[in-house]
């Protein structure tokens, strides 16, 4: 369920793209230092967004060279912000391990063996992360149980199932003491979590339909051969556009925002582009849409992002 929150790299300035890559590598480094080498494999785009969001109220952290296990003959540029990564790394471990445990419950013994093995690998890391963020670990566990109950009941309510997951993502800002910072950040993360769930549901729809697995879209819409009708896809796009616009409105309430352009790119350009790729069945193939080298704006093929708050069309 991770990997959907990413920027439109082809529409980023070189400076912002470098900052994004440094933040991603910095999170990988922080996971390794705090939770062991294996935890580096948990790094993802979505939690990089979380770091940039949480770091936005402060001055941009310095960057410097750091060792990269994927590039043994050289180094990469990483954001050097140990304090800023502490909570983000802990949230990453908790979310990923809770997802493994959810897979164990859903897939049975034999199909769940890979998840069982990985759960053992990250058991110690999870305990350290849960000690670092006990309230968040409890929230994640509680909401995933609620989500499992909705799935077991084959709930057709898109709002109910996406809300259960979105509450977990919003909890990544629950430790912030300043309400002027915490409240808009929780709203951004909640709407991002809602988007995540809906994008993942659409991305997995055909596979879930073939396997007979739970997917809220199967019960909410008429699905033909694992595909939604154009009208239902358009309706689902309206829902995700609404989350994008609400997240963008909350972004404007954040103080500081040292990564202003990068965060706006992710919310207003990256999220709609990801969902368009999911709708077209091209997201998993890593279409050129997300490549910085293929500047589609030069060819005049830029996707149209949802209007910013104040200009968005009313949902029907």
Q: Give which of 145, 132, 135 is closest to 102, Cα–Cα.
A: 145
Q: Of 96-100, 184-188, 265-269, 276-280, where does mean pLDDT reach its minimum?
A: 96-100
* pLDDT confidence of residue 100: 86
Residue 293 has what pLDDT? 54
Q: Is 230 helix (H, G, I), strand (E, B) or coil?
A: helix
Q: What confidence score (pLDDT) does residue 290 get?
A: 55
For residue 120, pLDDT over 80 is answered with: yes
pLDDT of residue 220: 94
For residue 28, pLDDT over 90 is answered with yes
Give the pLDDT confidence of 188-237 residue by residue, as tens digits: 999 999 999 999 999 999 999 998 889 999 999 989 999 999 999 999 99
Beta partners for residue 79, in sequence order: 63
Q: Cβ–Cβ contacts within 10 Å for residue 78, how many?
A: 25
Of the candidates 184, 150, 159, the one whose C-alpha atom is nearest the C-alpha of residue 170 is 184
Q: Do the Cβ atoms of 93 and 35 come closer than 8 Å?
A: yes
For the chain, the average pLDDT equals: 87
Tokens found for residue 142: 């509680």
N-term to C-term CA, the chain: 28
Closest CA to 235 of 210, 217, 248: 217
Q: Give the pLDDT confidence of 56-113 residue by residue, as tens digits.
A: 888 888 889 998 888 777 788 999 988 899 999 999 999 999 888 877 776 766 777 8
Rounded Cα–Cα distance for residues 75 and 26 (Å): 12
Confidence of residue 292 (pLDDT cuts 50, 70, 90): low
The CA distance from 260 to 59, in Å, is 12
0.95 surpassed by pTM: no
Q: How many CB atoms lie within 10 A of CB 245?
A: 22
User: 232 near 204, Cβ under 8 Å?
Assistant: no
Which structural domains are found in the chain, ordered by start? 9-299 (1.10.600.10)
Q: How far is CA 244 from CA 61, 164, 237, in A?
A: 27, 18, 10
What the block records as the tokens of 177 is 């003491």
Q: Which percentage of the chain shows pLDDT scores above 70?
A: 88
pLDDT band at 300 (very low <50, low <70, confident <90, very high): very low
How far is CA 188 from its chain centroid? Answer: 11
Q: How far is CA 72 from CA 30, 77, 219, 254, 284, in A?
A: 18, 14, 48, 39, 28
Q: What is the mean pLDDT of residues 40-60?
A: 91
How sure is the predictor about 277, in pLDDT bands with cuts at 50, 70 and 90? very high
pLDDT tens per residue, range 129-161: 999 999 999 999 999 999 999 999 999 999 999
pLDDT at residue 111, rounded to an integer: 76
Q: How much is the pLDDT for 313?
A: 38
If we measure between CA atoms, which residue out of 183, 190, 181 comes closest to residue 55?
A: 181
Name residues whose C-beta falls within 8 Å of residue 221's C-beta, 6 or more positions apart in sequence.
228, 229, 232
How many Cα atoms are found within 13 Å in the side-chain-facing hemisphere of 67? Answer: 5
């Amino acid at each position: 369920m991770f990997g959907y929150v990413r920027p439109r790299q082809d529409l980023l300035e070189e400076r912002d793209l470098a900052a994004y890559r440094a933040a991603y590598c910095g999170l990988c480094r922080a996971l390794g230092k705090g939770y062991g080498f294996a935890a580096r494999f948990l790094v993802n785009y979505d939690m990089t967004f979380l770091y940039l969001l949480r770091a936005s109220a402060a001055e941009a952290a310095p960057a410097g060279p750091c060792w990269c296990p994927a590039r043994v003959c050289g180094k990469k540029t990483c954001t050097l912000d140990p304090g800023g990564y502490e909570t983000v790394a802990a949230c990453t471990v908790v979310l990923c391990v809770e997802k493994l445990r959810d897979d164990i419950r859903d897939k049975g013994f034999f199909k769940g063996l890979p998840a069982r093995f990985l759960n053992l690998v990250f058991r110690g890391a999870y305990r350290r992360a849960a000690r670092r963020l006990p309230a968040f670990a409890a929230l994640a566990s509680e909401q995933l149980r609620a989500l499992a109950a909705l799935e077991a009941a084959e709930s057709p309510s898109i709002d109910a199932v996406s809300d259960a997951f979105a509450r977990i993502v919003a909890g990544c800002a629950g430790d912030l003491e300043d309400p002027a910072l915490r409240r808009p950040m929780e709203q951004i993360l909640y709407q991002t979590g809602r988007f995540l769930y809906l994008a993942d549901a659409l991305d997995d729809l055909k596979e879930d339909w073939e396997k007979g697995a739970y997917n809220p879209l199967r019960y909410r819409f008429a699905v033909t051969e694992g595909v939604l009708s154009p009208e239902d896809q358009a309706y689902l796009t309206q829902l995700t556009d609404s989350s994008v616009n609400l997240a963008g409105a909350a972004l404007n309430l954040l103080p500081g925002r040292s990564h202003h352009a990068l965060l706006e790119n992710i919310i207003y350009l990256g999220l709609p582009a990801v969902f368009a790729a999911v709708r077209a069945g091209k997201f998993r193939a890593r279409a050129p849409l997300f490549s910085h080298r293929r500047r589609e704006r030069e060819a005049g093929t830029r996707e149209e992002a949802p209007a910013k708050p104040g200009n968005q069309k009313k949902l029907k």
